[in-house]
Chain A
């Protein structure tokens, strides 16, 4: 029988709506298995700007200036020009989009990431620059992000989110007003759970839009003579979890890596067969590393500052492999010194989802110094510490005999010796550093350290 009272009718209607919206993410997930088909080219301008879209557009411009003002945008002339060249080569020819001005910037952030603002600003973090192996892989990321702009995904997603939030608010109301009994209790429970599901879809784009960006990104890569296979390769790189921080949540906005590789490989099909000379050139690792080496070194510094010691070690080793007899040896030594008692790689056990969650909780509770002290109290921590300090010294000394040794090597040695309790050696190395780099930014800090060491 149908409910007779109007309030019951409203509650029933809202229940139906609630169930519908709760199931919709599952429906989206189901679509993932659908066969991959060719899609029309990304040039399609049927978008009509509404008031809400214009607000989002304004916010994007403000965000651009905020990122710049807060010192988060990296200024490296040659690397920026390189990034711009890659980005512009991907823009479909003779394309002009309303309220889009392409800008390609690097963010000073060691965590690999990239995002696009609807006004045409594409941001790639220095962590991502370091992670990829060649220009084609970077182009794959940029093409993916550009598709979000070309297809107006931010506006589409924002409109969709607003509907979801309206649902969430209505659900809250129903939860409060529902009469006692089973219906009220169920709604109250789902209201508590539903925001979680809804919120999960709020962060980032929906799986459908991400999938579209992946596939259209491939088309754009082919048009710009970048090997489309690199889109798949970069996916694999992004899954590399050096710091044990990729925690799989109940509902992820991006399709799973396996799923992405599967549909991308299926989509590539014969498209991957045609390999031009230019495509081969764009896959060259050496040329990419040569251009991005200063950015990579900058990122190493950021990684160490952010306590991402394992990433720093992994990337410093890659830099040394690329250009051994250079300043890169100093960065490898720094990575070993700051790694301290931590293991250089996480074990399989540490990479399980539950272990990562525990580690994330601990990271909020303990400072880096406390973490080191705790590890030093364990036999494996002590062993790691000894091994890493020895390696650090070895690489500092090798860096000193490399071409054009930089003064900071002495600072690194000073810090190493200070930690090892060799006060005189530490003071001597610090002294050499100040002598060789009298205008160093950390001069005061090192002078204070020398004074303290001489007092002991």
Chain B
């Protein structure tokens, strides 16, 4: 295994060249892992570019993280590629931040159909709204759940 990150660097460079003003940050975290931070209003264009031009056609998951001290939620799309064989190990984490008091993001189901359930889970567990989602319903929670979104940091267990 080489210690340099040539393939990762090329991907980061391509992204920065194509979206010079839109990408806030694109870094190689460690071997095979790239973080790309984008503004929520630009995410669809960059997602389509990742899928069509860089071969990131295989969604591996979506995470939401509650940074309550910074008053924001971070939504992270974990992306892998089937199309581009020599990048099979490289995962791109596409990140956007939405404000905690009005958490709204654009759904990327139209770009990657496989993210549908992960976005639904982020809706019920964190209370984030995904505009344009085809089924904005509860996934794991009961339909009559009335408590706060349970994965938010202020929700504690009685034993905690």
Do they bind each other?
Answer: no
B residues sitting closer than 8 Å to A (CB atoms) are: none
A residues sitting closer than 8 Å to B (CB atoms) are: none
